[in-house]
Amino acid sequence: MFRRLLDSPTTYFVAAGLMVLVAVAAQFDLSFPSRTVGEAAEIRELRDRDDLNLVFIVVDTLRADRVGVYGYERPTTENLDALAQHGIVFRDVLAQSSWTKTSMASLWTGTLPFNNGILRFGDALPTEARLPAEILRDAGFRTAGIYRNGWVAPNFGFDQGFEFYQRPRPGRSRMEAESRHPAGGTLEGSDEDSLVAAMDFLHSFGNERFFLYMHMMDLHQYRYAEGTPDFGSSYSDYYDMAIHWTDRVIGHLHEQLRKSGQLQNTIIVIASDHGEAFREHGFEGHARNLFTEVVNVPWIIGLPFQLDPGVVIDEPVSNIDIWPTLLDLMGLPGLTNPDGRSLVPLILERAGVQDSNTSWRRPQFAYLDRGWGWPEREIPIVAVTDSGRKLVWWPKLDPPEFQLFDTEADPGEQTNLYVPGDPDTERLFDAAREKYESPQNAWGVEARQVELDEMRLNQLRALGYAVPRQR
């Protein structure tokens, strides 16, 4: 049904209309009005509601420090800021990798990369993994995922639990758009196409309980359309312009939900899989290392009512905490063997409606195999952050390499303070070594291995990744 809608001529009529609407929205202030004002105590009551929907938006490649509510001075994110201001914002969030597939496997399953094994080119989630969409589907939600990133394609197991899991068909007409990514890559379609597909889904199933996942990709491609302010001509400026554009697309979705009266019963979550580097540590792009610019990401929860003020969480948390928190918030069953934890008690504590007397600080971990695309090249990198210190460890370099940063005094991670034998360093190293050397297999099975055909390889090359030729 959904596929038919995506292919229908009506879709293109609707698509053209929506694109005009997005253009119009640029000229008028459509930044979020109108959810009813709620009390913080209502957060606790969400679990008892049987009318809640969930919209989960992953903005691929969005680093936290380019978002207004995270302190950025440029006006990039009017709509995200408004959502955060009256909802819940986590200000210190670590993605579990700087490469989409490893990061998204952790985000969905609440497990660390060491324990889920989705680390390299051909690794895929096994069917034994239980994904949030399966839990939501089993609880009676209509489930749809709209993605344009080949690393979260069905062949890697990311479609589990989705009734509809689709790349939107590229629109035939669209606004003038620029794509200024340094690595090039011509990813077909746009986030407007994803928006059209989302509207189709909501049109068909919005009167039932629904879970909608949108994986936005225009930012990954530094793509923006007309009506975007001119921030300059560096890659970093183009990136900011693409954030502004993506924020507008999200604002439009929000406006549609408002018009259809669904804001009062829909939770809207914004997350990201990794950031983007602009030569802070010598590289552009991502999937090369684990420094702050590529692993610190936003996480915002828009509630079905407005809080005034919203809840701000400063404790360091991780993307693996997202789904344990959301499932708990909605009173749904949890994930299997998650390493992440529900932060609902922390939210209630910061909202002033509950005491927990828990210490919420604990080490946060990230992992990247920088050799993920090469058959015989394994270059693991492990990062651990705790109590204002971050240790980055390259265990297979000869000799192994270490970097230690003071994340409070040196948030850009520019000064390596590593001294062998220092007690703080040793404590972090012990924590990192335990995770890396003693993985706790999350589902009792290894990652599935998949072969990629040329079509799929080309879809990945279109993102600008130097995907190797398979032998």
Among 11, 96, 100, 143, binds Zn ion (CB under 5 A): 100
Q: Which is nearer to Zn ion, 81 or 273 (CB)?
A: 273
Show the tokens assigned to 110: 């609440």
Q: Which helix (H) or strand (E) holds 369?
A: strand 364-369
How many residues of this chain interact with Zn ion, rule: CB under 5 A?
3
- By beta carbon distance, the residue nearest Zn ion is 100
Q: Which is nearer to Zn ion, 129 or 152 (CB)?
A: 152
Contact pattern from residue 45 through residue 74 relative to Zn ion, giving x for each residue in contact according to CB under 5 A and a dash for the rest:
---------------x--------------
Show the tokens assigned to 263: 């804001």
For Zn ion, which stretch binds (CB under 5 A), given 18-26, 97-105, 192-200, 222-230? 97-105
How many residues does this entry show for the chain?
471
- Given the structure tokens 């297999």, which residue do they identify? 441
Q: Which is nearer to Zn ion, 273 or 328 (CB)?
A: 273
Show the tokens assigned to 376: 């015989």
Query: How, if at all, do strands 277-278 and 266-271 pair?
Result: unpaired
DSSP state of 336: S
Tell me the longest C-alpha to C-alpha distance in the chain.
Answer: 67
Q: Are 130 and 327 in contact (CB under 8 A)?
A: no
Q: Does 218 bind Zn ion (CB under 5 A)?
A: no
Query: In angstroms, what CA-CA distances link 44 with 331, 359, 412, 415?
Result: 10, 20, 36, 43
Q: Which is nearer to Zn ion, 60 or 193 (CB)?
A: 60
CB of 115 to Zn ion, least distance (A): 21
CA torsion, ordered 342, 388, 86, 143, to nearest 10 deg: -40
CB of 67 to Zn ion, least distance (A): 16
Q: Does 273 bind Zn ion (CB under 5 A)?
A: yes
CB of 364 to Zn ion, least distance (A): 19
Nearest to 78 by CA among 43, 38, 126, 30: 30
Q: Does 191 bind Zn ion (CB under 5 A)?
A: no
Q: Which is nearer to Zn ion, 60 or 191 (CB)?
A: 60
CB of 215 to Zn ion, least distance (A): 9
Q: Which is nearer to Zn ion, 60 or 240 (CB)?
A: 60
Q: Which is nearer to Zn ion, 285 or 324 (CB)?
A: 285
Q: Does 194 bind Zn ion (CB under 5 A)?
A: no
* CA 184/CA 447 separation, integer angstroms: 31
Q: Which is nearer to Zn ion, 297 or 382 (CB)?
A: 297
Q: Are 277 and 293 in contact (CB under 8 A)?
A: yes
- Given the structure tokens 């997202």, which residue do they identify? 322
Q: Which is nearer to Zn ion, 46 or 457 (CB)?
A: 457
CB of 247 to Zn ion, least distance (A): 18
CA torsion, ordered 215, 217, 219, 224, to nearest 10 deg: -120
Q: Are 216 and 60 in contact (CB under 8 A)?
A: yes
For Zn ion, which stretch binds (CB under 5 A), given 44-52, 93-101, 224-232, 394-402? 93-101
* CA 381/CA 368 separation, integer angstroms: 5
For Zn ion, which stretch binds (CB under 5 A), given 132-140, 268-276, 310-318, 405-413? 268-276
* CA 131/CA 57 separation, integer angstroms: 16
CB of 388 to Zn ion, least distance (A): 28
CB of 324 to Zn ion, least distance (A): 22
Q: Which residues here bind Zn ion, judged by CB under 5 A?
A: 60, 100, 273
